[in-house]
Structure 1
Amino acid sequence: MIRYIRRAAAFCLLLLVALLVNAARVQLFEADELDANPANRRNTIARYDQPRGNILVGDRPVTGSKETGELLSFERTYLHGPLYAPVTGYASQTYGTTLIENAEDAVLSGTDSLLAPLPFWNEFTRGRQPGGNVVTTIRASMQQAAYDGLSGRRGAVAALDPSTGEILALVSTPSYDPERLSGTGSAVTDAWAGLNAARSMPMLNRAIRQTYPPGSTFKIVTAAAALDERVVTDVDAATDTPSPYVLPGTRTTLPNEARGCEDASLADAIRVSCNTVMAHLGVEVGLEGMVETAEKFGFNDAGLRIPSGVARSNFDTDMSDDQLALSSIGQFNTTATPLQMAMVASAVANGGDLRRPHLVDRITTDDGDTVRQERSESYERPMNPATAVQLQRMMVDVVEDGTGSNAAIDGVTVGGKTGTAQHGVDNSGLPYAWFISWAQAPDSGRPAVAVAVVVEDAAAERDDISGGGSAAPIARAVMEAALEE
């Protein structure tokens, strides 16, 4: 009898050992997989069991949290949601996170080790701290001026501080209210379906995620290349450029909408926006020189983050001369985000030094203590300082005596460049209206702001669409708000 009891005890012991081994296997080797399993709701419940940290503009939160009284205890709220949606993105219990809500999710949800009282505290305790705050570089008055200027039309505005790279305004319209996506249930799924089905694509962040042909605004890049490569040594000297200009290797002629472009100087070509001169100069610079200059401005960079990812602006690296000519005036396959073209204006305004754009100023605990401060960094030097000075003068001439007069501000030095970008099959689509600019107060030693505006105005008459007519007044309003700051 004792023998059978011993056998039963040994068998029970074996079962216990097997249970312990299996428990250890699950905890040590399968824990991460089980944590990530969509059927495991513990992480989701824990994620929403405390208020999320806030995103701030200046010293004011533009986000919040509210109690739901449900299993997922707290839900995201937004103040002036459509105005700041291109900055904040959304934090949805159903659809996840985007933009700053995504890029700084660890801070906002309280899991970032920066918020812990001691190093590795969160790792040891497997806990979280109260959500931290993300203070942005956005200026409320400039954001509002850009949003009001677009008036719901399809388009975008990006504004930078040329001296630091701080993003001062980032607007995309039409916009949406991210609070509609915050929770769960049929209202949220219906809102999601409606927003995604809308032809105006309100959830598309046109300022950083949409690329457009930049049209004549790209001529600033071509001018920088021509000056740095010594293709042009005197900006006021006549160039050997016929009008119309026959694209190299073809019988296709490139016309001008402006008058007086035959043999025009570089300064005049920028002032009145001569296609022929700038296309010819791009070919004279050559593919290698144009690619090098464009990439120093930020084109072809697929890794730019602000901290959200920015769509890659494109300048082809393998082209025939006729394609290069068109690319040099912002057509063919050349495309750019509004942020990219703000970077172009910023580099000119800042004497040739392009600062890396960034949207986050600092990270704080929920008590307001700073735990991370962003610093200004150089992105590239796309042109010589002397070239930047010459381009500044030419861009000022565009505003004072050229196509950009609608951007002029009394008593302020303003430089600009208009652009009307053709697109669609055989250029049948309504052109995009572009304007890039910068402004400097008379009593200041540095520029206040650099701005890029693009307007996709499908409701406008084709002849009415121009960078000077549609986009320049918006840029002026944003620059005036920056100067008031």
Structure 2
Amino acid sequence: MTRHIRHAALFCALLLLALLVNAARVQVLHAEDYETNPANRRAAIARYQQPRGDILVGGRPVTGSRDTGEHLRYERTYLDGPLYAPVTGFASQEYGTTLLEATEDAVLSGAAPVLAPLPLWNEFTRSRSAGGDVLTTIDPRAQQAAYEGLRGRKGAVAAVEPSTGRILALVSMPSYDPEPLSGNGAAAREAWARLNADPDRPMLNRAVQRTYPPGSTFKVVTTAAALDAGVVKGLDEPTRSPDPYLLPGTTTRLVNGAGKCGNATLRDAFVRSCNTVFAQLGVVTGLERMRRAAESFGFNDADLRIPFRVAPSTFDTTLDAAQLALSSIGQYNTRATPLQMATVAAAVASGGQVREPYLVERTMRAGGGTVSAAGSGAVRRAMLPATASRLRELMRGVVEDGTGGKAAIPGAVVGGKTGTAQHGLGNSGTPYAWFISWAQREDELEPKVAVAVVVEDAAGNRREISGGGTAAPVARAVMEAVLRSG
């Protein structure tokens, strides 16, 4: 009898050993295979078993969570979804995450280890911390002003605080409501198909994900390069520029949309936006100095994150003289995002310094404790302080005496630059209307805001600089909103 018991005990021990070996095989050797298996819904169920943290604008949540009572329990909701979609992006159970919902997902979903009460606590308890919150730098009044200004048009607005790099507004039109994408049912799939089929691409964030030829707004960069290089000595000296200008090495004559550009002074050329003057200035300044100037403003930077990726603005570094002339007036291969051109205006406003733009002020635990806070961003010199001072004077002239008059604000000092960018086969497309600017109160020492506006479907005479009529009023509304809220 004792022998049979021993045999039974040995058999049970072997079974237990086999069970342990198999458990080890499953949990160690094949754990990753099981975890990534599409049939395994445990991770998704755990992810959506609790409310997601919120994205805040001006201290107020613009996101939320709705309890569906299903296996994937909580769906994302959005307050003023189309207004803030270029900031938040979407969080979908079916299609993943974009923009801040993607880059801050670990905090928002509660998966970030830093949210745990103790190190490795979540690993031991197999739990997930409550989702944290993300406070943005967006000024709600500026965002609303930009959105209302662009309503009914296609384009984008970016506004930054020159002294810090804080992004105050980020608007892209047409926009969309992210909320219908939040779930995983037929409604989400229908919304996804409809948005992707829309030829106006409402889910494209034009403020940071699309680049445009900047047209005459790039003349700010060309002016900075020429002044720093000493190619032009003073604002009121003749530039010895012909009208029309024969592009070097070609038989092509570059002409102007405005008159009185032949041998114009830099001040007059800037106010009238004389193509011939700035094309020649770019050629005389030279490719290497133009490249250095453009890159010091942020062009050709493929690594910019705010924290989501910004499409690189480009200034071609392999140009002949004729191509350099066209690039110096914001044409040929020169391309820029609205955020990049807002940064150009901000550099002028801040005495020649460029501060990298950022969108997240701080991240917080559900109880309100700070997880991380934005520190001093990278600062680089785009131009000499004296050059920045001269450019502020020139940009003020555009608003006070030139094509940017619709950006003027009573009680404020405003500088701007209009631009029209040709595009399409044979320049047949409706020109993009640009306006970049900065503003400060008359009783304050430094500008509070720098703005870039691009309108893709601007109306008006193609021979006119339509940025002053189409884009400048939008910029004015945004600047007024910031000056009022500050």
TM-score bracket relative to the smaller structure: over 0.9
SS in 2 for 1:375: coil
Kept in 2, the 8 Å contact 1:165–1:376? The answer is no
Question: Which segment drifts farther, 455-464 or 320-329?
Answer: 455-464
Displacement, 1:447?
0.8
Displacement, 1:296?
1.1
Displacement, 1:385?
1.0
Displacement, 1:215?
0.3
Displacement, 1:15?
5.7
Other-structure match for 1:206: 206
The whole-number CA distance in structure 2 between the counterparts of 1:433 and 1:42 is 51
Displacement, 1:184?
1.5
Q: Percent identity?
A: 66
Q: Give structure 1 stretches of 5+ with no counterpart.
A: none
Q: 1:34 to 1:268 in 2, by over 3 A?
A: farther
Q: 1:285 to 1:34 in 2, by over 3 A?
A: farther
Kept in 2, the 8 Å contact 1:432–1:465? The answer is no
The whole-number CA distance in structure 2 between the counterparts of 1:83 and 1:40 is 36
The whole-number CA distance in structure 2 between the counterparts of 1:232 and 1:12 is 94
Question: Which segment drifts farther, 361-370 or 153-162?
Answer: 361-370
Displacement, 1:11?
7.2
Other-structure match for 1:261: 261
Displacement, 1:465?
6.9
The whole-number CA distance in structure 2 between the counterparts of 1:451 and 1:126 is 47
Kept in 1, the 8 Å contact 2:458–2:466? The answer is no
Matched, 1:328 2:350: no
Matched, 1:290 2:293: no
Q: Give structure 2 stretches of 5+ with no counterpart.
A: none
Other-structure match for 1:122: 122
Kept in 2, the 8 Å contact 1:364–1:370? The answer is yes
Other-structure match for 1:251: 251
Other-structure match for 2:236: 236
Matched, 1:101 2:101: yes
Q: Deviations over 1:411-463 (max 9, x none)?
A: 21100000000001110111000000000111112211000000011666646
Other-structure match for 2:179: 179
Other-structure match for 1:316: 316
Mapping of residues 82-97 of structure 1, within 5 Å = 82-97=82-97
The whole-number CA distance in structure 2 between the counterparts of 1:464 and 1:187 is 46
Q: Deviations over 1:330-382 (max 9, x none)?
A: 00011110000000000100001111101111111112222211123134211
Displacement, 1:302?
1.1
The whole-number CA distance in structure 2 between the counterparts of 1:464 and 1:84 is 33
Displacement, 1:33?
3.7
Kept in 2, the 8 Å contact 1:65–1:74? The answer is yes
Other-structure match for 2:430: 430
The whole-number CA distance in structure 1 between the counterparts of 2:464 and 2:366 is 50
Other-structure match for 2:365: 365
SS in 2 for 1:436: strand
SS in 1 for 2:204: coil
Q: 1:264 to 1:140 in 2, by over 3 A?
A: same
SS in 2 for 1:128: coil
SS in 1 for 2:435: strand
Displacement, 1:124?
3.6
Matched, 1:396 2:396: yes
User: What amino acid is aligned across from residue 156 of structure 1 in structure 2?
Assistant: A
User: What amino acid is aligned across from residue 417 of structure 2 in structure 1?
Assistant: K
Other-structure match for 2:55: 55
SS in 2 for 1:168: strand
Other-structure match for 1:473: 473
Displacement, 1:30?
3.1
User: What amino acid is aligned across from residue 181 of structure 2 in structure 1?
Assistant: L
Question: Which segment drifts farther, 136-145 or 114-123?
Answer: 114-123
The whole-number CA distance in structure 2 between the counterparts of 1:58 and 1:47 is 27
SS in 1 for 2:234: coil
Other-structure match for 1:160: 160
SS in 2 for 1:236: coil
User: What amino acid is aligned across from residue 104 of structure 2 in structure 1?
Assistant: E
Kept in 1, the 8 Å contact 2:81–2:178? The answer is yes
The whole-number CA distance in structure 1 between the counterparts of 2:233 and 2:79 is 53
Other-structure match for 1:346: 346
User: What amino acid is aligned across from residue 475 of structure 2 in structure 1?
Assistant: A
Matched, 1:444 2:447: no
The whole-number CA distance in structure 2 between the counterparts of 1:465 and 1:242 is 21
Kept in 1, the 8 Å contact 2:418–2:465? The answer is no
Kept in 2, the 8 Å contact 1:298–1:340? The answer is yes
Q: Deviations over 1:65-107 (max 9, x none)?
A: 1110111111100000000000100000110000000010001
Q: CA RMSD, aligned part only?
A: 1.9
The whole-number CA distance in structure 1 between the counterparts of 2:396 and 2:98 is 38
SS in 2 for 1:439: strand
The whole-number CA distance in structure 1 between the counterparts of 2:3 and 2:79 is 76
